[in-house]
Amino acid sequence: MADFIYNIAKGRFAHWYTLPAASDALVVVPIEATGVEADDVLNNYDDLLALLAAANNEQTTMGRKTVTASVTVTVNDTTNLVDVDFPDQTWVGATGNGVSDLIVCYDPDTGAGTDSTLLPMDHHDFVTTPDGSDITAQLAAAGSARAA
C-alpha cells in the first residue's frame, strides 16, 4: 500500500487510476536513495519536473515503467474504501545506483506528456540495490493505494 498520496492527487488518484483519457498511462519512476528529500517535502510537489528539479534524482539506469492496462479500481461498499492496483513491475537485469522509492505518476497524454505534466499520485518506499539481477516491485499484495 502507498506510504502516502501526494497532495495534488488527494481526492483524484482513484479516478486517474481508471485511465479515463484516450491516451493516458501510469508511469512508475524509481528514485535514487542518495539525496532524496523527506516524505513531508516530497508530498508537496505538483508535477514530476518540480520533484526532480529539487534534490531528488531519478534512477535512470533502471528506467521508468509505463502501465496502460490491467489496472483495477475496486469500490467496496462494505468497508467504504476504494482500492487501486496494477500488475507487479519488473526491471530485467537492473543496474545502477541504489533506489529508495517508487513514485506512481499519472500521465494524461502519453503522446504529448512531459515531466511537467506527469502528476505524482502515490509514493512507495522501495529500497533496493540493483546488481544485474531482475527486480520486481509488488507495491502491495492488497493493492497499490487506497482511498478512504
Count the neighbouring beta carbons within 10 Å of the beta carbon of residue 46: 14
Residue pLDDT tens, the chain, 148 long: 677 888 778 878 889 989 999 999 999 999 999 999 999 999 999 999 999 999 999 999 999 999 998 998 888 889 888 888 999 999 999 999 999 999 999 999 999 879 999 999 999 999 999 999 999 998 766 667 777 6
pLDDT at 2: 75
Q: Any idea which residue has 469500490 for its cell?
A: 75
SS3 track for 40-76: HHHCCCCCHHHHHHCCCCECCCCCCEEECCCCEEEEE
Domain that holds residue 108: 4-147
Residue-by-residue DSSP string for 82-96: EEEE---EEETT--S
The number of domains in the chain is 1
C-alpha cell belonging to residue 130: 540493483
**Stated pTM of the model:** 0.91
